[in-house]
A and B are shown apart, each in its own frame.
Chain A
Amino acid sequence: SQQGEEDPQALSIQEGENATMNCSYKTSINNLQWYRQNSGRGLVHLILIRSNEREKHSGRLRVTLDTSKKSSSLLITASRAADTASYFCATLPGVYGGSQGNLIFGKGTKLSVKP
């Protein structure tokens, strides 16, 4: 069953704007990850945040995690046309230092960045 649910399902912005996507989940987690999928391609890992972390940065990506609300957000700053893709959150059930089971993927947010 799906654990992560992304919001919104689709997002359309202009180049240079920031894009924010949200993910909610149901059970305790070891970590939460974000993946990108370009059209017709496989998923590519972007960033991982552990359950004992609140914020993580990687280049133009910023991820936050609120375990009390069971939610995460992915912010892409100064977006580019090349950022056009679907973005998925994936959770690894468990707790910090231990995991149970496999990654559970959400249904994704489809981001369109217009030049």
Chain B
Amino acid sequence: NAGVTQTPKFRVLKTGQSMTLLCAQDMNHEYMYWYRQDPGMGLRLIHYSVGEGTTAKGEVPDGYNVSRLKKQNFLLGLESAAPSQTSVYFCASSNRGGVRVNIQYFGAGTRLSVL
């Protein structure tokens, strides 16, 4: 049981390049999330999905796109990377439960540097 798996673990991009971060979960969770973590900023929600085929914007969505074609996968895309997108990206999933508790399970993160 792998939980939440993120690929790649590290990536260096040049400004203007594009890339896709992949998140896969094997817990049959309905909800999936993409966060970025910057020093002194905590975690900020980029986009999230409440089910297959649905996505929504979070707190900092600009410059990112997402897709949830399959329930177990949530992709985060950067169409034209900028140095401000240098960060550590975390994917999480949750199954909110009967009283919507929303305990989240996190991947190990992707460290992205944009030069």
B-contacting residues of A (Cβ < 8 Å)? 1-2, 30-31, 33, 40-45, 48, 50, 88, 90, 92, 94, 97-99, 102-103, 105-108
Q: Please give me the residue from chain A that is nearest to B6 by CB atom.
A: A42
Q: Please give me the residue from chain B that is nearest to A43 by CB atom.
A: B106
The digit string for B84-115, where 1 denotes a CB below 8 A from any CB of A, is 00000010100010011111111111000000
Partner of A98 from B58, B100, B108 at Cβ < 8 Å: B100
Which A residues are CB-close (under 8 A) to B35? 105
Contact B4 A42 (CB under 8 A): yes
How many chain B residues touch the partner (CB < 8 A)? 25
Contact A48 B104 (CB under 8 A): no
* A-B pair number, CB within 8 angstroms: 58
Partner of B109 from A31, A41, A90 at Cβ < 8 Å: A41
Contact B102 A103 (CB under 8 A): yes
Contact B99 A97 (CB under 8 A): yes
Which of A48, A97, A105 has its CB near the most chain B CB atoms (within 10 A)?
A105
B95 → chain A closest CB, angstroms: 12
* Cα–Cα distance between A2 and B42 once the two chains are bound (Å): 8
Contact B90 A43 (CB under 8 A): yes
Which A residues are CB-close (under 8 A) to B90? 42-43
Contact B100 A41 (CB under 8 A): no
Contact B33 A45 (CB under 8 A): no
* Cα–Cα distance between A106 and B108 once the two chains are bound (Å): 19
